[in-house]
């Protein structure tokens, strides 16, 4: 049975989703003060949607991008490790058409950029 989007996850559910042992998540709680799941009786951990997103981002930084724990901590504090925006089912925003004057300017700027790239490459 699949949980609804936004439901709290237990430590075993989150560990299974990330493909990590549970003790790694408990370790991350000691190293990343932002990661604070709810703890109920018997120290049962329940990860809120924000905690789940943060755990996914920490996993991305450490296990995919190769950050050290210290580097991941710094990236999260500096905002460089902010969670990427998840793709949604909502349609992409509509971009208004470019007025003719701006289109002409854009075309000229692109031509200049191409010329500069050729000059640097030669």
Q: Please state, in angstroms and as integers, the Cα–Cα distance from residue 84 to each residue in 44, 53, 54, 59, 101, following that order.
A: 28, 9, 10, 13, 35
Q: How far is CA 83 from the centre of its chain?
A: 3
pLDDT of residue 21: 95
> Is 16 domain-assigned?
yes
**Mean of the pLDDT values across residues 29-50?**
91
Q: Is residue 118 part of a domain?
A: no
Q: What is the pLDDT of residue 78?
A: 84
| 41 in any annotated domain | yes
Q: Is residue 2 part of a domain?
A: yes
Query: What's the rounded mean pLDDT across residues 38-52?
Result: 90
Q: At what angle do helices 49-59 and 11-18 cross, to 10 degrees?
A: 30
- Report residue 85's pLDDT band, with 50, 70 and 90 as the boundaries: very low
Rounded Cα gap, residues 72 and 76, in angstroms: 6
Res 69: pLDDT:
93
Kindly report the pTM of this predicted structure. 0.61
Residue 18 has pLDDT above 70, yes or no: yes
DSSP state for residue 107 in the 8-state scheme: H
For residues 31 and 58, give the distance between their C-alpha atoms in angstroms, rounded to a whole number.
11
Structural domain harbouring 3: 1-84
CATH code of residue 15:
1.10.1660.10
H or E element at residue 115: helix 100-121
Nearest to 59 by CA among 103, 89, 93, 14: 14
Reading the block at residue 12, the tokens are 């075993």
Number of domains making up the chain: 1
| 115 belongs to a structural domain | no
């Amino acid at each position: 049975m699949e949980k609804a989007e936004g439901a709290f996850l237990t430590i075993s559910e989150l560990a299974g989703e990330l493909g990590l042992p549970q003790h790694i998540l408990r370790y991350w709680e000691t190293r990343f003060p932002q990661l604070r799941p709810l703890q109920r009786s018997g120290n049962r951990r329940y990860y809120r949607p924000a905690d789940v997103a943060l755990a996914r981002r920490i996993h991305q930084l450490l296990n995919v991008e190769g950050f050290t724990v210290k580097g991941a901590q710094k990236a999260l504090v500096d905002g460089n490790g902010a969670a990427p925006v998840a793709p949604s089912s909502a349609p992409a925003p509509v971009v208004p058409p470019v007025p003719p004057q701006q289109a002409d300017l854009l075309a000229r700027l692109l031509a200049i950029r191409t010329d500069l790239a050729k000059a640097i490459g030669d």
